[in-house]
Amino acid sequence: MKLISWNVNGIRACLKNGFSDAFSSLDADIFCLQETKLSEGQLELDLPGYYQYWNYAEKKGYSGTAVFSRKKPISVTYGIGIDEHDHEGRVITAEYDNFYFVCVYVPNSRDGLVRLEYRMRWEDDFRAYLVHLNETKPVIVTGDMNVAHEAIDLKNPTTNHHNAGFTDEERGKFSELLSSGFTDTFRHLNPDLENVYSWWSYRFHARQNNAGWRIDYFLVSDRIVKNVVDAGIHTEIFGSDHCPVELVFDP
C-alpha cells in the first residue's frame, strides 16, 4: 500500500505546475494534501477511481486539507473536536479496517513566534487526539507538521535555532508526540541520512542550493512499525515549495 502526502501551497497554483502528472506518476492508494487554500465550490478535481474528502478553512484562501482514497473509508471525520482548533481545515481522519489515517497541517508559529503560544495548545490537544485514536486502532499520521525535529533535519540548524519550526518548544512537543507511542518512519529507516529535505524557502535560491528543512512526516503507531516497507521523500518533484513524502506500508 502506497501513501503520499504533499503540501501543495495552493492546489490551483500546483495544478498549473505539474500536479496532475505527479499525482499520476506517484500512483498512491491514499494521497493527501495540505494547504489547499480553497473554499468549498472553488474547484472540481477530476480524479477517477478516488473518493475525495476536503476540509476547508473558514478563512478564504487559507490552510485546508484533502484526502483522496481508492478504497472508501469506513468513516471520515473533520477536525479534532475542539472548537478553538477546528475552523482552519487542518485535520481529516479516515478510518480503515486496520488503522486510522490522519492528514494534518500543523499551525505555523509564524515570524516573531506570534502564534507559538497557540501552537503549544494545539500540540497538546492534537497529541491527545492521536493517543485516543491509538487506543482503538493503530494510527498513521502524515502531513506538514511545521517542525524540524533534530539538527539533521535542516540545513542551517544554528542560525535557525530560535526561528519558527526549530524552537526548543516545538521540537520538545514533537518529542513528546513520539514518546506517546509513535515513530517517525523516515528517520527510523534512515537514522543518519543527511541533506534530504521536504521544504525549501522561495527565497535565496534555497531549493537550488538544497538549503531545506524536513518538516513533512509519516508517523505510525509504534506497534505497526514492523509493517513499514519504505519511507521516502520525492525531492525530484516540483510544483510547490514542499515536495511529496511517501510511505509504503503492508496493512
Query: Shortest CA distance to 24 belongs to which of 52, 55, 49?
Result: 49
Instruction: Name the catalytic one among 144, 153, 184, 241.
Output: 144
51 a catalytic residue = no
Instruction: Name the catalytic one among 105, 129, 197, 217.
Output: 105
Give the CA distances from residue 39 to residues 66, 79, 162, 229, 246, in Å, rounded to whole numbers and listed in that order: 12, 16, 34, 36, 27
Q: What region does 248 belong to: left with phi over 0, alpha with psi -120 to 50, or beta?
A: beta
- Measure the CA–CA gap between 206 and 188, rounded to whole angstroms: 26
Count of C-beta atoms within a 10 Å radius of residue 60: 10
Q: Which DSSP state fits 94?
A: E
Grid cell listed for 105:
497541517
105 a catalytic residue = yes
Close Cβ partners of 23 (under 8 Å, ≥ 6 residues apart): 31, 47
Q: Which residues are catalytic?
A: 105, 144
